[in-house]
């Protein structure tokens, strides 16, 4: 019998790509999403890519304990991948209570329901934001976490700790936190991808929307940082590679290959890329000119962060494979496909 994975937030950007890769690896998937930050575009795309019209879909809010509990009553869940969370850094500064309530309560509910149904394997979607402005680069999983600079970042640190402590106290719950660097790009089919609401905060959606004419001009936030070209360095990880890391982590849990009850892995490429390099690569690979200007630094941005991926490479047997060019071409193909919709 195929094992079943619950993907909370499964209709969103990362969740939809992970759902596709889980099916490809032979798992069954149940999707839960409250549709607060997406529409059905990606879920429908997942159905098309996988040829599965019958994916169980629960339109529920994970902050509603009764609803989460009912889902666990109705489905036999072997593992949960928890994506259901708010993710806009700036908004979290303006609306801290909304962020703490949503991101913490939904995760607590998932863990509580899992515990009350005989336990579960839980994969939490964490972020490199927990490292803050690290002193030594690249960061390994042992690099100390720094106090978060936003309520959003705080919820990631707190949820990691909630998972760690729950695993410690609950024999039937195992956990993995994946710390993502900067996920970008789209599925090669261009049927699923990132669908930002309103003005995008993240670099690549802003680039593609500028290229297609939805935005007038990209602002590069600062070119006076202490880096080679003066712009910030990040580790941009292809969304399909990122999705495959989830499959590797879930298999490790389900096949009993974990070395500890709670484990953490960085998910990145291990390669730093500057904002300017990314913009140049986008122009080159897609053969177009982007309207951009240098603007002041964005408050809260770290200068540089990239991953040491040795642990994920060795323990998960996973490695980022797509080149930045392929990824940027996929992001552009997705933006163009949206224009046709
Ligand atoms: N960035 C930029 N212009 C934008 C959006 C982002 O120059 O319109 C820069 C930002 O300053 C950072 C990098 O792109 O150096 C990645 O930002 P993003 O918000 O995508 O991810 P973050 O690393 O902040 O989570």
The pLDDT tens digits for 13-72 are: 999 999 999 999 999 999 999 999 999 999 999 999 999 999 999 999 999 999 999 999
Tokens 């999403």, located at residue: 33
280 C-alpha vs ligand 1 centroid, how far in Å? 15
pLDDT for residue 341 is more than 80? no
Domain 203-233+271-306+326-336, what fold?
UDP-galactose 4-epimerase; domain 1 (3.90.25)
Domain range summary for the chain, segments of one domain joined by +: 4-186+238-269+308-322, 203-233+271-306+326-336
140 lines ligand 1 (CB under 6 A): no
Buried b (16+ CB within 10 A) or exposed e, 52-87: eeebebbebbbbebebbeebbeebebbbbbbbbbbb
CATH superfamily of 4-186+238-269+308-322: NAD(P)-binding Rossmann-like Domain (3.40.50.720)
- Decide the pairing of beta strands 273-274 and 233-234: antiparallel
Model pLDDT, residue 149: 86
Query: Considering the chain, what is the average pLDDT of its residues?
Result: 97
187 C-alpha vs ligand 1 centroid, how far in Å? 21
Model pLDDT, residue 54: 96
> Which residue has better confidence, 339 or 174?
174
Q: Is 131 a catalytic residue?
A: no
pLDDT for residue 283 is more than 80? yes
Token pair for residue 191?
Answer: 């049927």
pLDDT for residue 317 is more than 80? yes
Q: Whose CA is nearest to atom 11 of ligand 1?
A: 221
149 lines ligand 1 (CB under 6 A): no
Residue among 189, 182, 242, 184 at smallest CA distance from 41: 189
Nearest ligand 1 atom to the CA of 184 is 20
The pLDDT tens digits for 191-237 are: 999 999 899 999 999 999 999 999 999 999 999 999 999 999 999 99
264 C-alpha vs ligand 1 centroid, how far in Å? 25
Which alpha helices (H) appear in the chain, and where do they start and end? 13-24, 41-50, 65-74, 89-94, 96-116, 151-169, 203-212, 239-254, 275-286, 310-311, 324-339
301 lines ligand 1 (CB under 6 A): yes
Tell me the CA distances in angstroms from 204 to 190, 210, 290, one per residue in order: 15, 10, 12
- Once rounded to an integer, what is the mean pLDDT over residues 81-98? 95
pLDDT for residue 239 is more than 80? yes
201 C-alpha vs ligand 1 centroid, how far in Å? 7
Label residue 340 by pLDDT band (50, 70, 90): confident
Token pair for residue 311?
Answer: 């642990």
Q: How far apart are CA 336 and CA 25, in angstroms?
A: 29
The pLDDT tens digits for 128-187 are: 999 999 999 999 999 999 998 899 999 999 999 999 999 999 999 999 999 999 999 999
Q: Which of 27, 131, 152, 225 is catalytic?
A: 152
pTM score: 0.98
Q: How far apart are CA 215 and CA 209, in angstroms?
A: 6
Mutate to test the pocket of ligand 1, among 89, 230, 234, 304 (most ligand atoms within 8 A of CB): 234
Nearest ligand 1 atom to the CA of 275 is 14
């Amino acid at each position: 019998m195929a094992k079943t994975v619950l993907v909370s937030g499964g209709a969103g950007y990362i969740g939809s790509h992970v759902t596709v890769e889980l099916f490809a690896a032979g798992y069954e998937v149940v999707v839960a999403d409250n549709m607060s930050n997406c529409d059905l575009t990606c879920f429908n795309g997942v159905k098309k890519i996988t040829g599965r019209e019958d994916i169980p879909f629960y339109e529920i809010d994970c902050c509603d304990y009764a609803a989460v509990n009912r889902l666990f009553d109705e489905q036999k869940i072997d593992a949960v991948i928890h994506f259901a969370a708010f993710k806009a850094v700036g908004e979290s500064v303006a609306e801290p209570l909304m962020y703490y309530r949503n991101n913490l309560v939904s995760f607590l509910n998932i863990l509580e329901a899992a515990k009350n149904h005989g336990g579960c394997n839980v994969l939490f979607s964490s972020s490199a934001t927990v490292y803050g402005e690290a002193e030594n680069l690249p960061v390994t999983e042992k690099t100390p976490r720094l106090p978060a600079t936003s309520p959003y970042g705080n919820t990631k640190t707190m949820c990691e700790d909630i998972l760690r402590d729950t695993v410690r106290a609950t024999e039937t719950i195992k956990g993995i936190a994946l710390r993502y660097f900067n996920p970008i790009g789209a599925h090669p089919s261009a049927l699923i991808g990132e669908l930002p609401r309103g003005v995008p905060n993240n670099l690549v959606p802003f680039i593609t929307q500028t290229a297609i004419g939805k935005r007038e001009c990209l602002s590069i936030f600062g070119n006076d940082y202490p880096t080679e070209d003066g712009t910030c360095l990040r580790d941009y990880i292809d969304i399909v590679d990122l999705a495959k890391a989830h499959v590797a982590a879930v298999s490790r849990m389900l096949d009993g290959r974990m070395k500890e009850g709670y484990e953490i892995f960085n998910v990145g490429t291990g390669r730093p890329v500057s904002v300017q390099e990314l913009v140049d690569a986008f122009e080159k690979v897609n053969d177009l000119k982007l309207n951009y200007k240098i603007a002041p630094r964005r408050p809260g941005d770290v200068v540089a962060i990239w991953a040491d991926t040795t642990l994920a490479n060795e323990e998960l047997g996973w490695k980022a494979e797509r080149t930045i060019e392929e990824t940027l071409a996929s992001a552009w193909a997705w933006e163009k496909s949206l224009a046709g919709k």
